[in-house]
Amino acid sequence: MKVLEFPLARITLGFLLGIMTAFICNPNPKWIFGLLFIFLLTGSIFAFLVSKIPNARFYSSLLSYLISFLIGMSSLIIQTDSFRKNNYSNHNIFKKEHSVTLIIREKLKNTTYNQRYIALITSIDHTNYSGKILLNIPKSLPKTFEVGHILRIQAYIQKNKNPDNPNQFDYGNYLNNKQIYAQLYANPTAIEQSSEFQKDSWFYIAKIRTRILHNLEKANFNSTALAVASALILGQRQDIAPEIIQDYQYAGAIHILSVSGLHVGFIFLFLNFILSPIPNTRKGSFLKLTIIVSSLFFFAFIAGLSPSIVRSVVMFSFVAIGLHLRRSVNIYHTLLVSILLILLFQPYFLYDVGFQLSYLAVFFIVWFQPVLSQLWKPKNKIIKYSWDILTVSFAAQIGTLPLSLYYFHQFPGLFFVTNLFVIPLLSIIMFLGIVVMAFAAINFTPFWLIKPLEWSIYLLNKIINTIASFEQFIIRDIPFNFSMLTCSYLLIIAFVIWLKKPYFKSLLWVMLAIIGFQLAVLRNNWQVRHQKEWLVFNQKRNTLIVKRQGNEVFLYSNDSAAAKSKMLNSYLIANSGQLKNQKPLQHTAYFKENKILILDSAGVFIKNSKPDIILLTQSPKINIERMLLSLQPKLVIADGSNYKSLLAQWEMSCKKQKIPFHATAEKGYFQLK
C-alpha cells in the first residue's frame, strides 16, 4: 500500500496508537508528560548532531514515531475531563441529594418518558465544579428548555451504569467516551430557572437554528419533511419519527440523515458555484478561500460539531486551501492531516462510530473506487454517471461493511439501488435546502421557494420507503465479533491489493486472509459449542431466565412476549444462539451441580430442601430471615420483578447470615457458568 510509504502515515499511526494506549491503560499524566518532554529535548539535541551520528535516518524516524505516540497519549489525557480536579466525577457526590446548578448545552432526542439535555455543571451545593451531565426531565413538564438556560435542580446525581443485561449496547460507556460521567433525573417541582442566560456561541447558534425552524413551521412546511430537512441541513435528528429512521436503515441510506462528507461536499460545490464570478486574482482567490472556509466552519457549528461534520469540514477546508495555492491536493495527505488535526483537539472522536465509518468510507472511495471504475468504461454520459455512482457507493459499502456488521449486525442488500436514485435527488435537496434555510434565517419564506424543497423531501422519503419495503433483501441478526472484524479488513485489503497488482504473491496473501477469516469463524463456533450458562436477565415486572447449551437456548418465562424482546435478541446474536423453545417458570431448576429454588409471589417452599441458590421473583411474601435459616443457600438472587423497597431488607438479612446477595436492579444480570 503506497499510502503507508508516506512518513505522515506512519506518524499518524503512532499518534493513533498513543490515543488507544492511553484510553486502555489510563496512565499517570505526570509520567507521560515527563517522557514527552525528555523525548522532545532528545529530538532537539539530535537535530544539531544528526550529521555526526551513524544511521541517523533510522534513529530520527524512530524518535519521531515515539514522540507522535506520546503526543497521542498526551492529547487524550489533556482532553479527558476526569483528570481535572474540580470535575464532579472525582468527588463523593453520588449518594445523597444535592443542589446542582447547570447550563443547558444541547437538546437531545426525547425518550418515551423524558426530555433529555446535555448540560454543563457549574456548581454543586454552592461549590464550584465542572463537567458535562445528561439531564432527564419528565415530559409531564410541558416547558422545553433552550440552550443557554441556567437551572438549579435539587436531585441525586447517578453514575453511569454498566449494561443491565448481557450483550446490550453499553450506553454508560458511550456517555463516558463523550465525557459525560453521570445522569441527573429531575423532579419538575425541584427545578428553578434563572432569568439569565449563558450567552456564548452555542446560545446564538441555537437561536439561529430555532429561528429557521420556527419560520418554516409558520410557513406550513410539512412536519415530517421538516424533520428530515433539519437532519440533512442542520444536523438535528431529534424530531424524526422512528419509522422514518427505520426505513432509511433498511434501505441502506441512514448515512444520509447524518451530516457528513456527502453533505459538506455539496455545500463546498455550491459555494464554489456562487463565488465563481469573483476573479481568480490573488485578492479574489483569498476572498473566496476566506468565505468558503468560514462558511464551512459556521455550518459545522450550526450542525452541532458532530465528529463526521468536523472531519468533513476540516478535509474540505484543506481542499479549498490547496485550490487557493493552485496546488494539486493529495487526498491521502488531506485525510491524514485532518485526522491528526481533529484528534489532537478531540481524541475521543476516535471512538465515535460515525467518525470511524466516515473515514473508512472516504478512504475506500479514494483507494478502491478507481479500481472498480476501470472494470468498465461506458461511453454514454448517463450510463457513465450511473456507473460512477454505483462504484462509489460499492467502494464505500465494502469499506464500511465489516464495521457495520460489528456494530449493527445487519446488511441492506439494496444499498446500490438506494444510492443510484437518492444521490442525484439529494444534490437537488441540498442546494434547495441551503437556500431555503439561509432565507428562513432572515424571515423570508415564500411559497415558491419552500414548496420545491418540501416536495423533493417527500419524494426522497417515498423512494426510501419503497426500497425499505422489500424486507427480503435485508439480512438481519448477523453474528460478528472483533476477530471476524479484524480478519475481514485483512481480507478486503489483501483483495484490493491483488486487484491493483494481480501477482502470485498478492494472491497468496488473499488466500491466507481467507484462511484467517475461516479460522476466526471456526474458533467462534467452537467456543459457542463448548459454552454452557444459566442467566437471570434484569427485566422490570417480569422474570426471564435463559439456559444455554452451545448454540441451543432455552427460555423460561411466564411472559408470552419474552421470546421477541430486544434484550433476548441481542443475546442470541452475540452468542450465535438459536431459541429452541419457551417454557413457563418452574419452582426448581438445575444447572451443572447447582440446585436452584425459584420463589414467586406465593413464596411457597419446602423446608430443609437445601437449594444451592434461591431466586426471588414477583416480591414473594416470606419471612426472609426464617427462610434463610431453614434453607441455608449459598447465594440469593433477586430479579427485576421485585419491589425495590424489599431489596434493601433482603440484602440486610443476607448480610447478617453472611450469604451473598445479588439484586439485578442494582448489579445487572446474573450469570452462572
Tell me, what's the pLDDT at 134? Answer: 94
Lowest mean pLDDT among 61-75, 258-272, 524-538, 644-658: 258-272
Q: What is the mean pLDDT of residues 331-351?
A: 85
pLDDT at residue 447 greater than cutoff 90:
no
Residue 257 lies in a domain: no
Q: What is the mean pLDDT of residues 486-490?
A: 94
Confidence grade of residue 593 (pLDDT, cut at 50, 70, 90):
confident
Residue 552 and residue 453 share a domain: no
Q: What is the mean pLDDT of residues 30-36?
A: 89
Residue 268 lies in a domain: no
Residue 245 lies in a domain: yes
Write the DSSP assignment of 125-148 as a string of letters. TTEE-B-EEEEEEETTS-----TT
Residue 265 lies in a domain: no
d(CA 460, CA 233): 14
Tens digit of each residue's pLDDT (9 = 90 or more) over 39-54? 888 877 776 766 666 6
Residue 399 and residue 443 share a domain: no
Last-in-domain residue among 498, 524, 550:
524
Residue 418 and residue 394 share a domain: no
Domain containing 153 — which CATH number? 2.40.50
Q: What is the mean pLDDT of residues 517-533?
A: 92
Domain containing 546 — which CATH number? 3.60.15.10
Tell me, what's the pLDDT at 6? Answer: 64
296 touches 268 (CB < 8 A): yes
Tell me, what's the pLDDT at 19? Answer: 93
Among 313, 311, 390, 392, residue whose Cα is nearest residue 354: 311
Q: What is the mean pLDDT of residues 333-357?
A: 85
Residue 180 lies in a domain: yes
Residue 266 lies in a domain: no
pLDDT at residue 327 greater than cutoff 70:
no
Among 327, 169, 310, residue whose Cα is nearest residue 235: 310
Lowest mean pLDDT among 28-37, 150-159, 381-390: 381-390
Q: What is the mean pLDDT of residues 424-438?
A: 84
Last-in-domain residue among 327, 345, 363:
345
Residue 270 lies in a domain: no
More confident residue, 16 or 258: 16
Tell me, what's the pLDDT at 491? Answer: 95
Any bridge partners for residue 127, and if so which? 124
Tens digit of each residue's pLDDT (9 = 90 or more) over 77-131? 998 988 888 899 888 888 888 999 999 998 888 888 889 999 999 999 989 999 9
Tell me, what's the pLDDT at 123? Answer: 92
Mean pLDDT over the full length of the chain: 86
SS (H, E, C) 432-473: HHHHHHHHHCCCCCCHHHHHHHHHHHHHHHHHHHHHHCCHHH
Tell me, what's the pLDDT at 378? Answer: 85
CA angle (174 as vertex; 171, 180 as ends), nearest 5: 105
pLDDT at residue 177 greater than cutoff 80:
yes
Confidence grade of residue 511 (pLDDT, cut at 50, 70, 90):
very high
pLDDT at residue 282 greater than cutoff 70:
yes
Amino acid at 253: A
pLDDT at residue 415 greater than cutoff 60:
yes
Q: What is the mean pLDDT of residues 326-349?
A: 81
Cα four-point dihedral sign 237, 240, 246, 247: negative
Tell me, what's the pLDDT at 516? Answer: 94
Tens digit of each residue's pLDDT (9 = 90 or more) over 597-643? 999 888 887 777 789 999 999 999 888 888 888 888 999 999 999 99
Residue 556 and residue 654 share a domain: yes
Lowest mean pLDDT among 5-9, 12-16, 194-198: 5-9
Tell me, what's the pLDDT at 362? Answer: 83
Burial of 95 (0-12, 13-18, 19+ CB in 10 A): exposed
Most confident residue range from 273-282, 465-474, 513-522:
513-522
d(CA 67, CA 48): 17
Tell me, what's the pLDDT at 4? Answer: 56
Residue 644 and residue 555 share a domain: yes
Lowest mean pLDDT among 167-171, 253-257, 452-456, 629-633: 253-257
134 touches 116 (CB < 8 A): yes
Domain of residue 594, residue span = 532-672
Q: What are the distances in angstroms from CA 443 to CA 207, 209, 216, 437, 665?
A: 13, 12, 9, 10, 51
Confidence grade of residue 273 (pLDDT, cut at 50, 70, 90):
confident
Q: What is the mean pLDDT of residues 350-373?
A: 86
- In the chain, the number of structural domains is 7
Confidence grade of residue 56 (pLDDT, cut at 50, 70, 90):
low
Among 141, 154, 153, 158, residue whose Cα is nearest residue 102: 153
Residue 558 and residue 546 share a domain: yes
* Helix (H) / strand (E) containing 279: none
Distance of CA 517 to the CA centre of its chain: 26
d(CA 22, CA 72): 8
Residue 208 and residue 184 share a domain: no
pLDDT at residue 8 greater than cutoff 80:
no
- Beta strand spans in 323-465 (E): 411-412
Last-in-domain residue among 459, 491, 524:
524
Residue 474 and residue 463 share a domain: yes
pLDDT at residue 255 greater than cutoff 80:
no
Amino acid at 316: F
Tell me, what's the pLDDT at 508? Answer: 93
Residue 264 lies in a domain: no
Tens digit of each residue's pLDDT (9 = 90 or more) over 565-576? 888 899 999 888
Q: What is the mean pLDDT of residues 245-261?
A: 79
Tell me, what's the pLDDT at 52? Answer: 64
Residue 433 and residue 443 share a domain: yes
d(CA 576, CA 479): 6
Q: What is the mean pLDDT of residues 159-181?
A: 89
d(CA 555, CA 558): 10
Tens digit of each residue's pLDDT (9 = 90 or more) over 135-163? 999 988 878 888 889 999 999 999 988 88
pLDDT at residue 3 greater than cutoff 60:
no
Q: Which three cell numbers stand for residue 564?
A: 421477541
Residue 613 and residue 536 share a domain: yes
Tens digit of each residue's pLDDT (9 = 90 or more) over 630-648? 888 999 999 999 998 899 8
Return the number of other C-beta atoms located less than 10 Å from residue 389's C-beta. Answer: 17
Output the pTM of the full model. 0.84
Residue 538 and residue 662 share a domain: yes
Burial 169-188 (b: 16+ CB within 10 A, else e): eeebeebbebbbbbbbebee
Residue 628 and residue 599 share a domain: yes
d(CA 62, CA 68): 10
Q: What is the mean pLDDT of residues 261-267?
A: 75
Query: 605: Cβ–Cβ under 8 A, 6 or more apart, which residues?
Result: 587, 597, 599, 622, 627, 631
